[in-house]
Every structure is written in C-alpha cells, then in structure tokens.
Amino acid sequence: MHILLGLALGAIYILLAAGLTIVYGLLDVVNFAHGVFYMLGAYAVFLVISLTGSFWIGLASAAIITGLIGALAEVFLLRPLYEKHQLYPLLLTFGFSVAVPDLMKVIFGLIGKTVDYPEALSGFILLGTIPFPKYRLFIIVLTAVVMTSLWLFLKKSDLGMVMRAATLNSRMVEALGIDVARIWTVGFSIGVGLAALGGAVAAPMVSASPDMGVEITVESFVVVVLGGLGSLAGAVTGGLIIGQVVSFVSLFAGQYSKVAIFIVMFIVLLVRPRGLFGEAGRH
Amino acid sequence: MIRRLVLIALICILIPCAAMAEGAKFGIVLPLSGPYAAMAQDMKNGAMLATDQVNQAGGVLGGQAELIVKDSQLKADIALRRVKEMVEEEHLTVIGGNLSGAISLVINEYACKNNLLYMSYCYNSLPVGKEFCGKGFTSAVIPYQNPDALATYAFKNLGKTWMSLSADYRGFHDMMASWMYNSDQLGGEFKGNIYHPLGTRDFSTYIPRILAESPDILVLNNYGADQIAAIKQFSQLGLTKKMKIVISKTHLHIAKECGKAYDANIYGGATYYWNMKAAGEENKKFVEAFTAKFGAPPSGDAEAAYVGTKAVWQAIAKNGAADNVDALIDALTSMTVQTPKGSEQFRACDHARQQSILVLRGRGDQSKDWDVFEVVQEVPWEETLQSCENNKNNLPYGNVPIPTK
C-alpha cells in the first residue's frame, strides 16, 4: 500500500520535474515560476469545470491553456533576455513567482477554489487484496502515459529529434535552417504544460489556491537536482525516489517527511555531485 | 490679535499638541501573506469594521481612531520588526493582532519588556503560567479550551477510541495535551498520534496507519491549507465513512473551501459562527455590516479581531488617553464589551476573554452558500476556561505528557 501511495505522490513530482528539466535542458533557464504554472493549471481546471461541468475536459484543457500562456510568456517576456546574462531570465521567473499569485488573489480572492473529484474515480479499487484509491491509481496511470508519450515524442518524432539537437547545440541546428526560436517556444510550452497538468491533477486533493505552487517548486527542484539537471530519466527516477521517501518516512516519523527529501538529496549529491543521471542527460 | 496667537503658540509648546484630544492609534500585525493570508485578511476586516464603527460614532478622544496594519508574513522576526517600527516610529503604546500562538508569545514578551498593551487576536497561552506578564490579552481563547469542549461531546456521543493527526507546532501541542487529559478523565482510549510537518499536501500516506488502528474518532490538530487537504483526501478515500473526524480548531473558510467533503461526519471546534442561533441583535448587526462591507459573513477569526479592536477603542475612550498602559489595562478588565455573542468581559486575573466554545458539524452537500455548519452545542466559558489559580500554575494541562515525536 505504501509503495503504491508513494508512486502516486511521486507521479506528481515526475510531471513537475520533467517540465522543469525540459525547460532547463532546452533554454538553460532555471524556471522559478514553475510552481506558478502548476497553480495556473489548478485554476484552469476549476474554471473549465465551472463552464463545462466535465473534469476530463478541464484536465485536458488545463494543460493546453496553460501551455499557451507559457508560449506567450516565452515569446514576449523571456526571449528578449536570452542574449543577456543568465541572471536576467532567472530574475524574471522569480518575479513571476511573486507577482502572479498576488494577481490571482486579486482576481479569485484569497480563499481557494474547490475542485471535486470526478464521480468515476471516487472510492477504491481492489488490487489483489489491497483496496487502493481509484484517483491515486489514475494519477499513476496518467503520469505513465504522459511520460511514455513524451519519451516517444522526443525519441521518434522529427520535432522531438530537433528539440534534442537544439538542447545539445542550438547554433548548429540554427545553421541547418531550422527556426530554433520556435523550438524554444514549443519546449517551454510543453514544460509548463506538464506543470499545469500536475496542478490540475492535484486540484481535487488540495483545492486551487494562489500560494499552492510555492513549496512544490522547491521540492521539484530537489527532484531535478537529485535526478540530474536536464535529464528526463533523472526526473522520473528522482520523482519515484522522493515519492517513496515521503511515503515511508510518513509511516514511521511523519513530521520528518519534508526534511527527509533534502537529506536524500544531500546524500546523493555527496556521492554524485551531478545527480543520478546528470552526465548522461546533458552534453 | 497677535497676543492671542502668541498665547496659543505658547500653550501648544508647553502642552504637547498631540495630547490635545487628537484621536488614538492602534497597531496590529497579521500574516497577510503566506499560508494563512485568507484568514488574516478576515481578521483585518474585523478590526477595520470595529474601527470604522467607532469613527462613525464620533471617533475616540475627540479625533479619529486610526488602525495601523502591518504584514508579518507569518514569521516571528518580521512580526517583531513591524511591531518595533510601530512603537519606535509611531510611538504606539497599544499593539495587537497575530494568527499564530507561537508568534503571539514573542510579541507578548516584547510588550512585557516595553510596557505595551498587547491585544492578541489568536488562540494562545498568554494567560497561562509564566507567559502571563499582565500586559497581554487574548480576544480568542486558550488552545486547551476547544479540545476540552470537543472531547466532552465526542467521548459522550461519538465513541471512546481515538487517535490524532497533529501538525508539529506549539499551539497544536497545547491542544494535544488537552485531548490527552480529557481522554483520561472521560474514559477515552488513545490509540496513537501522528505528527505531520506544516504545509503537508498529501495525507494519503498516513491512511494505512489510521485504518490499522481503526479508531472511533480521528482528531485533527492542524489548520489552514493542511486541514483542507486532510479533509478533502480523507473524505475521498472513505475515512469519514469509517470514523468521525473531530477538528480542534476549524474555520468558516475551510469548510467553504472543502465543499461537500466537509460533511456531517466531521465536527469542529470554534469560538463563533455567524449563523449561531443563540446570538442576538448585536450579532445580526455585526453580520449585516460585515457582509455588506466585505461580501461574505465573518469567520471566528474576524469576530475575534472585531471584539479585540472594539475592546481596545472602548478602553481608550473610557480611560481618556492611550498612553497610560496600566490605566488602560484597568479599564479593559473592569468593563463589559457588547460582542456579537453577547455581553462579555476580559477576566482581570489573567486577561482571558470569557466566551463560549461551539461544537460545529459540517453540512456537506446540504450547505447553502456560506451556511456550512450546524451548531451542535454551545459550551459556556465556565466549563472550558480553567480557574485563575489553575491558569497561573499551568494546571491541569501543563503536566500532561503528550506523545513524543
């Protein structure tokens, strides 16, 4: 039971960490606003459900709507800063992480918005003899499908191949006549879309609130650093490890579950300073 | 004419103009940003309404009642810095606010050392043991009071076996001591406690342990986003069908945000509910004024801030000045305040507000807009507030061992 609950917990970390690592790998931008897109995903699912009454439409459109917002942010706000010092995009995303939640407080108020669980995913399902919550199982399956699709996209599609090439050497790709700026936009959209999907999935469990992305940004960074910056396999492995660590520490000493993830990161970095898949993932 | 002007100028120099009836100032710190921002905003609204009403009725000391509000970000060092700024720059002698028992103790210590009147709005232990220095008041209650009322109800009506899930934080430890003591007195059977860190989002990992113990009652000692996440997840995972959940301190906004998950299997402790039928005309006026101004009815936090602020202005008016702290304290402890719950007093011996505790029950999908609770019981203050002597000696809860981490 704890292994499965840890998997469900890790699944949300995986979605966030994968998004973060794609953005970093492709754009070299440490996106401090990643939690903002997670929060926007939760509000998007709330809004779409309010309009359509369908959780499923809400879930799908949350990632798409937020991905589009991310594309606009990349084109109009981030892109002018690429040629400047690395600190500029970092400061910009940090500014987002402070300003956007405040803006959401003005628009939606300080009290969070309730997102109900879909009827079909209420209650338990028997896995052998273990009753397991359907919604948690859904999160695990959804993340597995999304990550497999992402892997296939990056490995098998032409656009994915170009994105991987741009990650390694964007000037060479540009020299081949490919519009690298467009690739950056697509990559950024996918990255923030994954964060939004994580927020949309989490919304029924915690409700949508302006500050919900603050702590999870830090935890996602832990997952990414643990797995290795820029490595998709690292994001998945890191998410799985952190999910299990939180799950099992909660069993024996719940109050230390948050500290435990930093201790694990500390130990891993002592042994492998570039994270578990750092070398393989980049360059 | 010139002589008259010179005379007026001389009077102004000899008698400070500030002392010539120009109103009064009251400074509060609240965590307007951070995890308790929504609740803090509600407190701010309550304090503002009380101040507006004083000004509409002619002000205080012949001038305006001025409320100064600063953001503490739910951090003790920032709260203390903001208070120091108000005291050193604005020369305030009356301060207040706060939504954290632990931060409240820090501000109280500063108030004690600097001879300030401190009107705290939150649950805290200012009236208990060594924390009481004679300068601090609380317009909420002492943390042990809610569990005292809830435990009496729960062990009589909901079952005997219980376990708890508690945030690892000072105020919740105090609540835990009260639960342990009352369990011992009322025949409860304790099956264990789980501590969780503040800011926990996923409570599913605690469920197997809770199900393994299968208690009649699961006590939640947490607040804010933690409480919302716990209720929503426990409801979705079917825990509320297997046991009753009793929350030591709950909030109007929490029930609203949880929606139908906050159902009739969930009980909560509070000091106030806007639709409490026992309250009279004063409450009706308060709820109408608050709702008209802020678009939603007041929570318990808003009511505590409203009463605390109203009491401060009333004491200043009664005393005729804001700068003699000892005289203000005498005024506060010798007057009756018309609160939304009726006529109440701050007890002279420990400055605790003498107010009742409510046992609330969720209404789930029977909720209508902001009417999210049913008041199951109103427990008089005499039944939950310990005697002056007991509070002075931190009895009986101070000696109760609470579960180790």
**pLDDT tens per residue, range B40-51:** 999 999 999 999
Per-residue pLDDT for B16 more than 50?
Answer: no
Does residue A107 lie within any of the structural domains?
yes
User: What's the pLDDT tens digit per position in B240-294?
Assistant: 989 999 999 999 999 999 999 999 999 999 999 999 977 788 999 999 999 999 9
ipTM over 0.85: no
Which pLDDT band holds residue B403 (cuts at 50, 70, 90)? confident
Does residue A188 lie within any of the structural domains?
yes
How far apart, in whole angstroms, are the C-alpha atoms of residue B363 and residue B374? 7
| Pairing label, strands B161-167, B189-196 | parallel
Per-residue pLDDT for B5 more than 70?
Answer: no
Which range, A77-86, B207-216, B356-365, B392-401, has the best average confidence (pLDDT)?
A: B356-365
Does residue A71 lie within any of the structural domains?
yes
User: Where is pLDDT greater, at A117 or B8?
Assistant: A117
User: What's the pLDDT tens digit per position in A196-223?
Assistant: 999 999 999 888 989 899 888 999 999 9
Q: Which CATH number fits domain B145-270+356-399: 3.40.50.2300, 3.30.70.1230, 3.30.300.20, 3.30.70.2740?
A: 3.40.50.2300
Q: Where are the domains of chain B?
A: 24-141+280-344, 145-270+356-399
CB atoms B208 and A251 under 8 Å: yes
How far apart, in whole angstroms, are the C-alpha atoms of residue B243 and residue B265? 8
Amino acid present at B68? I
Full DSSP string of A137-197: HHHHHHHHHHHHHHHHHHHHSHHHHHHHHHHH-HHHHHHTT--HHHHHHHHHHHHHHHHHH
Number of domains in chain A: 1
Domains B24-141+280-344 and B145-270+356-399 share a fold: yes
Full DSSP string of A15-73: HHHHHHHHHHHHH----TTHHHHHHHHHHHHHHHHHHH--HHHHHHHHHHHHHHHHHHH
Of A205, A251, A255, the CB nearest to B205: A251
Predicted local confidence at residue B2, as pLDDT? 53
Share the mean pLDDT of chain B. 92
Q: Which residues of A touch B204 (CB under 8 A)?
A: 5, 8-9, 133, 136
CB atoms B236 and A205 under 8 Å: yes
Domain around A160: 2-212
Predicted local confidence at residue A241, as pLDDT? 94
Does residue A15 lie within any of the structural domains?
yes
User: What's the pLDDT tens digit per position in A91-133?
Assistant: 999 999 999 998 998 999 888 898 888 888 887 888 877 778 8
Q: Give the chain B residue nearest A9 (alpha carbons).
A: B202
**What proportion of chain B, given as a percentage, has pLDDT over 70?**
95
Does residue A255 lie within any of the structural domains?
no
Q: Which CATH number fits domain B24-141+280-344: 3.30.360.10, 3.40.50.1010, 3.40.50.2300, 3.40.462.40?
A: 3.40.50.2300
How far apart, in whole angstroms, are the C-alpha atoms of residue A108 and residue A132? 34
User: If you average pLDDT over residues A148-170, what whole number do you get?
Assistant: 89
Element (H, E) at A95: helix A87-108
Which pLDDT band holds residue B3 (cuts at 50, 70, 90)? low
Does residue A73 lie within any of the structural domains?
yes
Select the residue from A38, A106, A110 to test the B interface by mutation, using most B Cβ atoms within 10 A.
A110
Predicted local confidence at residue A224, as pLDDT? 92
* Lookup result for tokens 């308060």: B286
